[in-house]
């Protein structure tokens, strides 16, 4: 009997010790590829083809998005993320990475960079200092806005004006704090917005995010602008979700050019494999703002209403997204099939996104 009791106690002690061992680190490899077809209803689809002023999904005919490969290592206390992108969408997303790029003049007259070295979307390491504090150092996608660079995480395939002219990425140091079950706080110091490889100016940007139950109030103070942003969403029912994004950005210039807007994202699940969603966006610029709309009055003021209806059909890891988009500006910002200036543009996109 003594031997049985001793063996039982040894077994229990061994089991308890095994439970206290830390979890093994996890290495994962994930990503996506996407391609699409785009055509205008009300404008040419040849060498005169135009598109809305927002980012991505703007090339005519059959076109490529990007290949995205994400390697991550998650330990108990530390880890890293290496997020690589290849293709037109990826190049557009990391336009301010000059180290290995070739400069070129883009559509709005500014200088961007392209080259085989421009493949890093995110590259950072992190340290879980405690259960409530996490430090991250490196290049990470912006904390502002409802949409992101990867098409996998967006419901609509084309992007909003608010997303397109806010920040894409930051390089710096941020601290995330879990204040309670509902409240969170992020504080960060970073290079100038979208200068992701190194600090080319000697100036720094400062960011903060206050979160409450999935609703986030963000502020970014950059040497060239200040932006306030609200991002959130609500489950109205089991099958109906409403997302919200509102932002105001003002540039540090004598005339204080600015833009502001709001976008609503109602989405309804019609079956286990098909969801229908709408992005309804109002976007306005003062004193030519960011030059996003392309049509302005004599004072440089303009606005646009953009309605994007997207269907999302899931087949295992493949998602098919047909999309109809209507942009209507306050001034002539587009052209019609006769190449005459017009205030509106109708277009269609059919996208295929495979994620792994």
pLDDT in tens, 115-130: 545 689 999 999 999 9
The answer as to whether 89 is a domain residue is: yes
For position 198, what pLDDT does the model report? 87
The answer as to whether 20 is a domain residue is: no
The answer as to whether 8 is a domain residue is: no
For position 5, what pLDDT does the model report? 42
**What is the dihedral sign for C-alpha 288, 294, 297, 302?**
negative
The answer as to whether 250 is a domain residue is: yes
Q: What is the pLDDT of residues 151-181, one digit of tens each?
A: 999 999 999 999 999 999 999 999 999 999 9
3-class state of residue 10 by DSSP: helix
The answer as to whether 12 is a domain residue is: no
Closest C-alpha among 178, 179, 203 to residue 192: 203
The answer as to whether 14 is a domain residue is: no
Lowest mean pLDDT among 269-273, 277-281, 318-322: 269-273
Full domain range(s) for residue 285: 26-355
Mean pLDDT of the chain: 90
The answer as to whether 339 is a domain residue is: yes
Q: Count of domains in the chain?
A: 1
The answer as to whether 17 is a domain residue is: no
Residue 345, burial from CB neighbour count under 10 angstroms (0-12, 13-18, 19+):
buried
Q: What is the CATH number of the domain that holds 145?
A: 2.40.160.10
Residue 259: count other Cβ atoms within 10 Å of its Cβ.
28
- Rounded Cα distance, 92 and 197, in Å: 15
Closest C-alpha among 188, 261, 189, 258 to residue 225: 258
Contact 65/55 with Cβ under 8 angstroms? no
- pTM equals 0.87
């Amino acid at each position: 009997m003594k031997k049985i009791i001793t063996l039982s106690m040894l077994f229990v002690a061994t089991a308890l010790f095994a439970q206290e061992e830390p979890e093994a680190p996890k290495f994962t490899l994930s990503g996506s590829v996407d391609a699409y077809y785009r055509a205008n209803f009300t404008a040419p689809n040849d060498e005169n083809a135009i598109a809305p002023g927002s980012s991505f999904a703007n090339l005519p005919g059959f076109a490529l998005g990007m290949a995205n490969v994400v390697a991550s290592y998650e330990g108990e206390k530390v880890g890293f993320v290496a997020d690589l992108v290849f293709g037109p969408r990826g190049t557009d997303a990391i336009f301010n990475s000059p180290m290995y790029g070739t400069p070129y003049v883009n559509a709005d007259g500014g200088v961007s960079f392209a080259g085989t070295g421009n493949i890093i979307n995110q590259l950072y390491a992190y340290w879980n200092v405690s259960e409530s504090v996490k430090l991250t150092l490196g290049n990470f996608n912006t904390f502002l806005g409802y949409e992101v660079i990867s098409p996998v995480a967006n419901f609509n395939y084309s992007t909003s004006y608010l997303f397109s002219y806010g920040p894409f990425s930051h390089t710096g140091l941020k601290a995330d704090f879990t204040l309670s079950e509902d409240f969170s706080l992020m504080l960060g110091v970073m290079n100038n917005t979208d200068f992701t490889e190194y600090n080319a100016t000697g100036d720094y940007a400062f960011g903060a995010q206050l979160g409450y139950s999935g609703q986030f109030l963000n502020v970014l103070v950059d040497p060239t602008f200040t932006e306030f942003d609200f991002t959130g969403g609500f489950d109205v029912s089991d099958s109906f979700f409403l997302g919200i994004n509102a932002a105001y950005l003002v540039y540090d210039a004598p005339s204080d050019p600015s833009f502001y807007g709001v976008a609503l994202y109602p989405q309804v699940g019609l079956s286990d494999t098909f969801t229908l969603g709408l992005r309804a966006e109002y976007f306005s610029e003062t004193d030519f703002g960011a030059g996003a709309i392309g049509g302005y009055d004599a004072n440089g003021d303009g606005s646009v209403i953009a309605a994007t209806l997207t269907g999302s059909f899931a087949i295992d890891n493949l998602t098919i997204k047909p999309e109809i988009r209507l942009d209507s500006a306050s001034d002539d910002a587009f052209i019609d099939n006769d190449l005459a200036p017009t205030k509106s543009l109708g277009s269609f996109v059919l996208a295929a996104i495979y994620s792994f």
